[in-house]
Amino acid sequence: MKPIRSLDQLAEHVQSSCTKKKIAVAAAEDSNTFDAIVKATENGIVEAVMLGSAERIRQLCEEKSFDPAKFTIIDIPDELKATQEAVRMVKAGEADILMKGLVGTDKFLKAVLDKSAGLLPAKQIMSYVCALEIPAYHKLLFISDTAVLPFPDLNQKIAMTNFSIKMAKRFGIEKPKVALIGASEKVSLTFPNSIDYAMISKMSQRHQLEEAIIDGPLDVFLACDKESVEIKGVKTAIDGDADILIFPNIEVSNAFYKGLMLFAGAELGGLIQGTEKPVVVMSRSESPKSKYYCIALACLMAEER
Amino acid sequence: MSVKKLDQLIDLAKTKEKKKLVVAYGQDAHTLGAVSKAVDLGFVDVIIVANKEIVEKVCKEEGIDPSKFEIVNEPNEISAGRKAVNLINEGKGNMLMKGLISSDNYMRAILNKDEGLLPAKATLSHISVFEVPTYHKLLITSDVAVIPAPDISQKISIANYLIKTAHRLDIENPKMALVCLSEKTNPKIQQTVDAAIITKMADRGQIKGAIVDGPMGFDLAIDQESAQIKKFNSPVAGDADCILWSNIEAGNVFYKTVTKLCHAELAAIVVGAKCPAILSSRGDSTKTKLYSIALAALMA
């Protein structure tokens, strides 16, 4: 497989090479995600099961001049019950992907995380990985965790790293380069993150993680800019050509991607990781394009191998 | 040419500027015998702080000419230790050796806050150099005597002591193994976390002058075949010059095993103080004492 280098290539790849996925949208009466679902349906990458208030879903279809017959609509006006039913469908294999509509994130995740009926296996760490397309960078950059784990500990960082590597591999990147991001490349006993990173690099060297080229701590310059590597003379196998950035905490990763979206025209596709099946949760503030990419990403990750 | 045998420590020490050895309470036959040889070999001058009468008597019994030493008369054991340390602080000597003084009193004199030899915040530790007949080169190993369970900061200091020692033995880019139970890292086993930190610091040039890898089992560090069988890829595997032990028990059992069961010889010194200090025990052979003096001379 030729590596996917942009989000449009992702969308094309899904459309041309993946089977159509069934997506269960919980509380689907959501004007924020509606356009993305419509586009995904029209492009034939998903078949949408819209769970929620049938009346309001039909109303939305009318407003957007979309034929409601192209959806399967299941009338469950209560948002929690709609979510629980959507989770059940995905767990039972009646749908391939779960997506959050107009339901609070708290309620939605409660249903996803339910011990017996939910989608997260016992002891599994849940995290979030984004594929970020930055006009000034020569390829996609996978980043984690921008949404789920606020202050990841070592084990959670290991999980974030493994999830990101697995996702990058699904994009056809055979041996992704993973940079563990800090403020500098030095190891310092007063910076606990740098110690976690030393540990993760060593675990990778000892083949205890998903196969990849891993190094850290590195700053963003050393991770993504060859010239900085030369100027600083730091020996790193990442060599300014990172595919994946692992961030020390959610504040850093969040500021990184939002800054790039706002000031540098970046787009993204993101997905929850760790669940039995792909779960799409997108923020209202994301661009229409990014919302579509999230669905395309879920389709790629749901594809049987 | 790097030093490959302990005898070569003496050869190398002879090529350097002559050092001045201060012996604390050196009034026993073993100590006087060893320092006498060192003086005869020409790489040290010796000041002995002890009971002058006893020194002269023992020398006579052993057939040693006491005039080859400078003798400072101090009949009291504890005072002799202090006086020896003072001589170093006054710049009259550049290496220290323990004689008949107890290890406790000797270390106390070195560690004394006001009049001792330990710079502020320095880590006092211990280095041994082993010649094991079945290994193809010398093995420079970390603390088997002073720090029971070094923490990560102490291990970083110790790693630097090992590297400095190798350099003084003309081993230019020594290979250092951070020895644990196996090569696997485990967040729950602190030694493996420490090893990961130290290797990364070496990667980043925060620890310089050596090729560093760990964690690894001791077999992987010194035996190429084990490394091949276990498919262990490391620039250090099977060819380690330096071993950093996880704790004192590992090092101490190694030391006693190779000396008692494998006919190994060794040189050992205390490092981290203002000057190298020899902490030999009565159980050590005269050879070990002489090698230790040569090692201290090279480190001074």
The residue among A187, A207, A222 with the most chain B CBs within 10 A of its CB, best to mutate, is: A187
Q: Is the pLDDT of residue A60 over 90?
A: yes
**CA–centroid distance for B170 within its chain:** 16
Q: Is the pLDDT of residue B201 over 80?
A: yes
Q: What is the DSSP letter of B182?
A: S
Across the range B16-34, mean pLDDT stands at 95
Sign of the torsion angle spanned by Cα atoms B133, B139, B144, B150: negative
Q: Biggest alpha carbon distance in chain A?
A: 63
Nearest neighbour of B197 by CB, restricted to A154, A198, A234: A198
What is the percent of chain A where pLDDT is above 90? 95
Taking the C-alpha atoms of residue A160 and residue A271, their distance in angstroms, rounded to an integer, is 12
Q: Which of A35-44, A145-154, B274-283 has the lowest mean pLDDT?
A: B274-283
Chain A residues near residue B215 by CB distance under 8 angstroms: 202
Q: Is the pLDDT of residue B45 over 80?
A: yes
Query: Quick one: chain A helix, strand, coil %, rounded to 5?
Result: 45, 20, 40
B201–chain A Cβ distance below 8 A for any pair: yes
Q: Are residues B13 and B294 in contact, defined by beta-carbon separation less than 8 angstroms?
A: yes
pLDDT for A1 equals 83
Q: What is the ipTM of this complex?
A: 0.85
pLDDT in tens, A29-56: 999 899 999 999 999 999 999 999 999 9
Across the range A252-278, mean pLDDT stands at 96
Across the range A134-150, mean pLDDT stands at 96
Q: Is the pLDDT of residue A213 over 80?
A: yes
Chain B residues near residue A190 by CB distance under 8 angstroms: none
pLDDT for A287 equals 86
Taking the C-alpha atoms of residue B55 and residue B57, their distance in angstroms, rounded to an integer, is 5
> Two tokens at A33?
């995600």
Chain A residues near residue B201 by CB distance under 8 angstroms: 187, 198
- What are the start and end residues of each CATH 3.40.718.10 domain in chain B? 125-260
Fold for the domain defined by B7-119+289-299: Rossmann fold (3.40.50)
Decide if A187 and B184 are in contact by the 8 Å CB cutoff.
Answer: no
Collapsing DSSP to helix, strand or coil, A72 comes out as: strand
pLDDT in tens, A106-122: 999 999 999 999 999 99
Chain A residues near residue B159 by CB distance under 8 angstroms: none
The residue among B200, B201, B231 with the most chain A CBs within 10 A of its CB, best to mutate, is: B200
Taking the C-alpha atoms of residue B28 and residue B150, their distance in angstroms, rounded to an integer, is 33
Q: Is the pLDDT of residue A9 over 80?
A: yes
pLDDT band at residue B179 under the 50/70/90 scheme = very high
Across the range A293-298, mean pLDDT stands at 97
pLDDT for B160 equals 98
Across the range A213-242, mean pLDDT stands at 96
Across the range B207-220, mean pLDDT stands at 97
Fold for the domain defined by B125-260: Isopropylmalate Dehydrogenase (3.40.718)
pLDDT band at residue A286 under the 50/70/90 scheme = confident
B199–chain A Cβ distance below 8 A for any pair: yes
Residue A159 Cα, gap to closest chain B Cα (Å): 14
pLDDT for A91 equals 97
pLDDT for B286 equals 82
pLDDT in tens, B114-135: 999 999 889 999 999 999 999 9
Across the range B206-227, mean pLDDT stands at 97
Question: Considering chain A, what is the average pLDDT of its residues?
Answer: 96
pLDDT for B284 equals 78
Nearest neighbour of B197 by CB, restricted to A195, A203, A208: A195
pLDDT for B277 equals 97
What is the percent of chain B where pLDDT is above 70? 100
pLDDT for A283 equals 81
Q: Is the pLDDT of residue B283 over 80?
A: no
Long-range own/partner contacts, residues B111-117 (CB < 8 A, 24 or more apart): B112/B82, B112/B85, B115/B82, B115/B85, B115/B86, B115/B89, B116/B85, B116/B273, B117/B85, B117/B88, B117/B89, B117/B273, B117/B274, B117/B275, B117/B277
- What are the start and end residues of each CATH 3.40.50.10950 domain in chain B? 7-119+289-299
Residue A200 Cα, gap to closest chain B Cα (Å): 8
